[in-house]
A = this chain, B = another copy of it.
Amino acid sequence: MIKAIGFDADDTLWHNETHFQDMQRQLTEIIVGHTGDPDQIDAHLMAVERRNLRKYGYGAKGFALSMIETALELTEQRVSGAEIAHIIAMVQRFLDKDVHLLDGVIETLSWVRGRYPCFLITKGDEIEQREKLAKSKLRPFFKEVHVVLEKDPDMYRSIVQREGLDPGQFLMVGNSVRSDILPVLAIGGEAVHIPYEVTWKHEQVEPSPEASHRFATLSSIRDLPAFLEGGLRAPA
């Protein structure tokens, strides 16, 4: 029986990846005048992000630096100061942006919170995630908030243990199969996948057919209460 529910934040409770894709589109517009090949820009940015991930971690500041590095490298440093300033300005605007909740989030959290202790478990830059949470006004729904560097089985196990639960009593809800679903299944927990409209390339993963049978997929967080009331197993 489920006794606690974890929620991912970015692209599960509020829109995030769309903003990053929007910044990436603007970067392409800036550089394409120098290089002429949009696909090359996307591929290079992705490679730079991957190269920097261990050093920069997740978040907008690291993304800003990776975009600037991409611009410098693809233009052989001919990108102008005004263009660099444009890149920084769009990241600053992103950090200043309001947080937009996904449809049905408030209603669902209100319902769930009355029945289960809820945990927010989000990967990313601590200050950015805390700031988004503050803007979202969702803090009161959660017993605890964990901003973690990586969502791996050990991290989930430590949260479950700290609550004195068995892994099978914990259910995680999120949009990323790689971060929210597979590591929770790995420790014997339950998971509900709610895909977002877009998935960050670094998070894309195809679950094995066996794993796919071990978690449910809902099309909206609005369906979570009915799912929890109807028992846990999704139709295979």
A57-75 contacts to B, CB under 8 A, are: 57, 61-62, 64-65, 68-69, 72, 75
A232 at the B interface (CB under 8 A): no
A216 at the B interface (CB under 8 A): no
Q: What's the least CB distance linking A78 to chain B, in Å? A: 6
State which of B78, B84, B147, B149 has its C-beta within 8 Å of the C-beta of A68. B84
A95 at the B interface (CB under 8 A): yes
Q: Which residues of the other chain, B, contact A68 by a CB distance below 8 angstroms?
A: 68, 84, 88
Q: Interface-forming stretch among A111-119, A122-130, A180-188?
A: A122-130
B84 and A72 contacting across the interface, CB-CB below 8 Å: yes
B81 and A69 contacting across the interface, CB-CB below 8 Å: no
B81 and A78 contacting across the interface, CB-CB below 8 Å: yes
Count identical subunits in the complex: 2
B95 and A55 contacting across the interface, CB-CB below 8 Å: yes
Q: What's the least CB distance linking A54 to chain B, in Å? A: 8
Q: Write the chain B residue with the least CB distance to A71.
A: B81
State which of B84, B95, B96, B125 has its C-beta within 8 Å of the C-beta of A84. B84
A110 at the B interface (CB under 8 A): no
Chain A interface (Cβ within 8 Å of chain B)?
Answer: 55-57, 61-62, 64-65, 68-69, 72, 75-82, 84-85, 88, 91-92, 95-96, 125-127, 130-131, 147, 149
| 16 interchain pairs, CB-CB under 8 A | A55-B92, A55-B131, A61-B62, A61-B65, A64-B65, A65-B65, A65-B88, A72-B85, A77-B80, A77-B81, A80-B81, A81-B84, A125-B126, A125-B127, A126-B126, A127-B149
Given A57-B126, A125-B126, 12 further pairs, Cβ under 8 A: A55-B95, A56-B61, A57-B125, A64-B65, A65-B65, A65-B88, A68-B84, A77-B82, A80-B81, A84-B84, A127-B149, A130-B149
